[in-house]
Structure 1
Amino acid sequence: MNLKETLVENPIIAAISNDKDLEKVVSSNAAIVFVLYGDIINISKICAKLKENEKIVFVHIDLIEGLRGDSAGIKYIKEYSKPDGIISTKASNIKCGNQLGLYTIHRIFLIDSLSLKTGIKNIHETKPTAVEVMPGIATKIISLLEKETNSIIIAGGLIKDKKDVIDSLGAGALAISTTEKKLWDL
């Protein structure tokens, strides 16, 4: 799978945070799913259900209860849950995911110029497959980050309607992630 091509063809990413969302997403048009919940006991079942329904699965490694965000935890997720990739805010997790051959998405929160500078530095050091910019409605920052890092940009956070999607994609994001179920079928 070429992630960039897949994102171009499927720019709406379903971000799920509970079992109700899981049930809804399996029947949606969303091809890519960000799993933002779970624990060490149920994460394999969540991933298996998504894979059975031909979804491309990314697990937000920092949000899995009972799992340390370290190399052993990432190895465990890879072996027992078999996602296509991981999401993390931690540079060490991105590096580990890369070493294990997983797709990696570095989620960065941009709240001021210092966080932007730190984010760019971390992206250059970790070389993630893609970068998720939070909040996703920060269109000026999306454009700047895409130019500065030459990375695939995914906008996430506060994406609530079609205009937010269009604005983020127009600013240079290749895809958006959203928990807003009405957007999953765009």
Structure 2
Amino acid sequence: MFEVQERIDQFKSAGKRVFVDIDFVSGLSGDEDSVIYLKKSGVDGIITAKLRIFKQAVNVGLNQSLLRFFVLDSRAVDKGIQQIVSNGIRNIEILPGIVAAKIAPKIRAHAPDITIVAAGLIDTAEEIETLKKHVDAVSTSSTTLWSYRW
């Protein structure tokens, strides 16, 4: 938590949009105060697997926030789509991202205007080429892909 503001400022000064994975920042409890703190710190949005925290972020104006969507099996996909539709979710992150090419069309059939980010297990430019036909962005820890032009 002590590095959050410094990192936000660093990325913002480089012209980047900043999203903080609130579920993994030590010291942030995932309550409304934590969400407000991040908004005041200048983030563009948060990433979370928790619907309650996601709704808090949207309520304070972090409308670009992402709700994490875990693709464990067909049942999880069906429940996730139901959650997206019933809660009017506009932005999701699919994990593992490598399966987004298969899952994104199913999601878009129910929520055509949703923004989809694929994240996790994306290691090659070829995978990005396949994914970009189905998603709006990818998130990867593979530093060799950080310079990839969409």
Residue 112 (structure 1) shift:
0.7
- Whole-angstrom distance in 1 between the partners of 2:74 and 2:106: 12
The answer to whether the 8 Å contact 1:77/1:83 transfers is yes
Tell which has more relative contact order, 1 or 2 (C-alpha 8 A, sep 6+): 1
> Residue 58 of structure 2 is aligned with which of 78, 94, 98?
98
Aligned to 1:88: 48
Residue 132 (structure 1) shift:
0.8
- Whole-angstrom distance in 2 between the partners of 1:90 and 1:122: 12
In structure 2, relative to structure 1, the CA distance for the partners of 1:56 and 1:132 (3 Å cut) is: same
The answer to whether the 8 Å contact 1:106/1:123 transfers is no
Give the secondary-structure state (helix, strand or coil) at the position aligned to 2:19: strand
1:1-186 paired onto structure 2 within 5 Å: 39=1, 41-79=2-40, 81-102=41-62, 103-138=64-99, 139-150=101-112, 151-170=114-133, 172-186=134-148
Size of the alignment, in residue pairs?
A: 145
- Whole-angstrom distance in 2 between the partners of 1:100 and 1:143: 30
The answer to whether the 8 Å contact 1:94/1:128 transfers is no
Aligned to 1:26: none
- Whole-angstrom distance in 1 between the partners of 2:36 and 2:22: 11
Residue ranges of structure 1 left out of the alignment (5+ in a row): 1-38
Deviations 1:68-93 (A, max 9, x none): 112111111112x2101111111111
Identity percentage over the alignment? 31
RMSD between aligned alpha carbons?
A: 1.3
Higher strand share: 1
- Whole-angstrom distance in 2 between the partners of 1:57 and 1:126: 24
- Whole-angstrom distance in 2 between the partners of 1:142 and 1:129: 13
- Whole-angstrom distance in 1 between the partners of 2:110 and 2:95: 17
Task: Give the structure-2-normalised TM-score.
Answer: 0.90
Residue 164 (structure 1) shift:
0.7
